[in-house]
Chains A and B, each alone.
Chain A
């Protein structure tokens, strides 16, 4: 913080004014202005299609634009020649895991290639390589071809290659998308250390709202516009309000009442979260209790609103949230079929799948009950999609057994296919067909009798709120609506079991909440069993039951609350502290024996059993080194903490002694 304050008078490294980028008819960025100061980590946060990539490419000098001005290091980027002048001083890492690297080349060959490209002398190269590789802990994998690295390692290698010529400005386009929480944490720590050391300026984009606090300043983007900008706490401060969390038995009824009054109401697992704008916590709590009068509230508490709440409130305030018809979620649309036999919808027993050289899924077992939302969590490549493929009958398992909707998946894969609905990771409906044509096609494929087709389609259209786009071509619809259409197509034959493979990646927060509302209704009211995969930790909270997957294995399997409790009992609470300078503080804590201390934006998190003892120890340790402790608060661990802890634990077990 001091560092940025010191250089405030400097001209900004990047100055963007009224930037406009159009792709034929589509406006990707519409009047974006921002300044990036020397030495800061500047964030661009927004869902897919917000205009982040276009802006970053223009700043990197690889994309022409229609209006406004872009200045980098004082040089106006208005031609290829102008961009060429500053290219030597910047590094750009495009979106996609390892997309700028060469899969066949080894780690070292990739680095050497980039160094040669940037004309780094051999002496300098040797020194930088040693330092960067040690920092990213890639030095053990020098000879490994890039294609055999995990997602997190690819991103670290990408970072090394981007930094090898010691640029003054680095531009990283969604470096953490699709990377597991452990590697994400790792990536941020490395980035922060590197940048502080050399006072490099960084422009980083992300689609995860919960990464906001890792930036010094940021721009919230949506639909080509900057919705808000400034330091994270300033943005939060500008959207005053309180988040009220409550647990109530009659959840469905409570939701109906709350939605009449508030725009941000969400059922998360057994809880309901309501964002009450503008008022104090006490007033917010009182307002809600008044609304729910006559109902028994089991538990009610107030929390700080999250960045996502603030983002949605901002969008609503600026009327950017699409006005859409309400999906009439209250309706029972399935024909009252009783849940199957014992109420168990999916059983997986010791499922194993081998690819040519490695075991993608290793003896995975779990059960999903009718009406339950079951989440499979894990990084890219952890084996989630393979599990789904086996259960849906696309891929025969190497070993193990499973039952889906009462049918044996090994012997009766055709029956399985008829009884389930499936929404795939990438949108896989026909974009050159209309909404109704897609629905009709899938109704007929799934054997809905001719007389019932229209009625069924009407019901799912109502459920998913697709009435206004019924006759439109799918290709012209925004991402959020497409995903709801995919859901509607998967539901048109009234399945008892629904499989969703990362259904909401790339969908904006409002679209995601809308999608979840339908899922919650399906599970709670229609008793549909839902198995989904996700790498959004905030989404995992919605699930009734979670299985954490790592390297093909399930390493934890329980309800979100139980997972957190177990962690708390095993490793303690999370201590959240702010100190200045933060990097020295981290170093000091690590030396003092707090091994799992992790950098979290400008804060440090660590797991502590005895809070009081640790607080005094930390205070002493920091003051000894003249490090200023700003604040220190204990809080319950989040699912991300659980995830990171379990994976690190697993890795420590597997590591050779």
Chain B
């Protein structure tokens, strides 16, 4: 009995020693690949940094004016289109010129002020101003038209009050409804919190698929797999070593990005348990590694693997809510989101980092990721082993 135990232990220690030898080898090779190192640094540091600088608001969108009135009143309206959201792009002499600028994409908004603007306002008549918006980019068009409506509405409100002779004190007696809302989790609604987290999660996904796939395909491409096949290594040891090494690399990249860029530069709060965050990330990387290994079994070289990875990545990201919120999806696609592992990962990552959520709240998402991850990884392993037979 005792003897059996010691044999088993010796076997296990050999098994692990082989696995570690292979993992070390993967890390050495990774360290020698300048292009991969560059990609890792770029994606985890610079890409997430750039994402933090992008906002989802208008940034100095160009407004061109056709002012037929040239009055004090029209000027007051025009000067309400100010940075940071808008920037005046000058005046045009007629409506057609404004239209042309829209066509050429040199203005986002064209404001048309009729010639009797000031006259009618002082007369107390209502006036129409025409706003033309380039909505070829729907998000921009939507933002521009809603901001413009707000500015003109405010101007009209101010004019009406002035006309009525209502001053600051009297304003308190005018009945108005004010909405007092509370924004939770990101009180200043900073895009610099949302965007880089989302970007980081996408980067983890890309690397999680590509790195194991590349490591596996490289062996095939360079013929080194042959030498491994005649060695006492089992297919499990070959693939696990790749997954472990690449998981370590990605976790390191994630840590650098999280502490240096997200927390260090953009002051993203890390409210929840970091242990939980990295545990979830590890589980997620194993899931994507399963996909990567499957891709590697289908491809003969790195180019094919990269192409297949893109085919897998696109729906995965699209169905995750990273680029489009689930609330904006049609029902069918919203159901389909439950099969994208990235969906669960995003939910949990935001909840842990911004809300400080723990396992008591996230257990169902974690279960979902574990189930899908287990299936995908198991499938990847099965396919990878099968190609040796």
Q: Which residues of A contact B (CB under 8 A)?
A: 392-394, 414, 417-418, 420, 422, 424, 426-433, 437, 440-442, 444-447, 450, 473, 489, 499
Contact = CB atoms under 8 A, between A and B. Distances in A.
Contacts of B14: 447
Given A445-B18, A445-B22, A431 B232 contact: no
A442 B231 contact: yes
B231 A428 contact: no
B56 interface: no
A433 B25 contact: yes
B339 interface: no
B153 to A, nearest CB: 64
B224 A429 contact: yes
B379 to A, nearest CB: 24
A392 to B, nearest CB: 5
Interface in B181-236: 222-233
A447 B230 contact: no
A445 B226 CA distance: 14
A397 to B, nearest CB: 14
Given A392-B230, A424-B230, A473-B32, 9 more contacts: A422-B227, A426-B223, A429-B227, A430-B29, A442-B231, A444-B18, A445-B228, A450-B17, A489-B227
Given A437-B28, A447-B17, A447-B18, A432 B33 contact: yes
Given A424-B226, A437-B25, A418 B232 contact: yes
A444 B17 CA distance: 7
Given A441-B25, A445-B232, A445-B233, A428 B227 contact: yes
B21 interface: yes
A424 B227 contact: yes
Contacts of B226: 424, 426, 428
B18 A422 contact: no
Nearest to B30: A432
Contacts of B21: 440-441, 444-445
Nearest to A393: B230
Contacts of B18: 444-445, 447
A554 B230 CA distance: 24
Contact of B229 (A394, A430, A437): A394
A524 to B, nearest CB: 25
Give 7 closest A-B pairs by Cβ, nearest first. A444-B21, A428-B227, A422-B230, A432-B32, A417-B232, A426-B223, A428-B223
Contacts of A393: 230
A442 B231 CA distance: 9
Nearest to A473: B32
Nearest to A421: B230
A489 B230 CA distance: 13
Contact of A446 (B28, B29, B33, B232): B232
A394 B229 CA distance: 7
Contacts, number: 68
A446 B222 contact: no
B302 to A, nearest CB: 14
Interface in B55-91: none
Given A424-B223, A441-B25, A417 B32 contact: no
- For the residues of B in contact with A, the DSSP-based class is helix
A139 B368 CA distance: 65
A447 B28 contact: no
A373 B10 CA distance: 35
Nearest to A418: B232
A447 B232 contact: yes
A414 B230 CA distance: 9
A460 B21 CA distance: 19
Contacts of A432: 29, 32-33
Contacts of B227: 422, 424, 428-429, 489
B230 A417 contact: yes
B25 A428 contact: no
Nearest to A447: B14
B44 to A, nearest CB: 22
A356 to B, nearest CB: 15
Nearest to A438: B25
A483 to B, nearest CB: 13
A514 to B, nearest CB: 22
Nearest to B234: A414
Interface string B14-36: 10011011101100110011000
A65 to B, nearest CB: 29
Given A428-B222, A445-B22, A447-B18, A433 B28 contact: yes
A431 to B, nearest CB: 7
Contacts of A442: 231
Nearest to B229: A394
B177 to A, nearest CB: 69
Contact of B231 (A417, A431, A437): A417
B235 to A, nearest CB: 12
A429 B227 CA distance: 7
B224 A428 contact: yes
A489 B25 CA distance: 15
B35 to A, nearest CB: 12
B353 to A, nearest CB: 37
A444 B231 CA distance: 11
Interface string B155-183: 00000000000000000000000000000
A427 B230 contact: no
Most chain A CB atoms below 10 A, which of B20, B29, B33: B29
A445 B229 contact: no
Contacts of A422: 227, 230-231
A36 B230 CA distance: 48
17 contacts: A393-B230, A394-B229, A414-B232, A422-B230, A424-B226, A426-B226, A427-B223, A428-B222, A428-B223, A429-B224, A430-B29, A432-B32, A432-B33, A433-B28, A437-B25, A442-B231, A445-B228
A32 to B, nearest CB: 31
A448 to B, nearest CB: 10
Contacts of B24: 441
A430 B24 CA distance: 13
A437 to B, nearest CB: 6
B230 A420 contact: yes
Contacts of B25: 430, 433, 437, 441
A433 B232 contact: no
Contacts of A445: 18, 21-22, 228, 231-233
B269 to A, nearest CB: 41
B154 to A, nearest CB: 64
A447 B20 CA distance: 12
A388 to B, nearest CB: 9
Contacts of B225: 428
Contacts of A414: 232
Contact of A394 (B222, B230, B233): B230
A88 B33 CA distance: 45
Nearest to B25: A441
A424 B229 CA distance: 11
B367 to A, nearest CB: 37
A417 B21 CA distance: 17
Contacts of B28: 433, 437
Contacts of A446: 231-232
A542 B322 CA distance: 66
B233 A430 contact: no
A140 to B, nearest CB: 34
A248 B248 CA distance: 60
A416 to B, nearest CB: 9
Contact of A433 (B22, B32, B223): B32
A446 B237 CA distance: 13
A424 B33 CA distance: 25
Contacts of B17: 444, 447, 450
A447 B232 CA distance: 9
Contacts of B231: 417, 422, 442, 445-446
A427 B33 CA distance: 20
A447 B228 CA distance: 14
Contacts of A392: 230
Nearest to B388: A394
Nearest to A433: B28
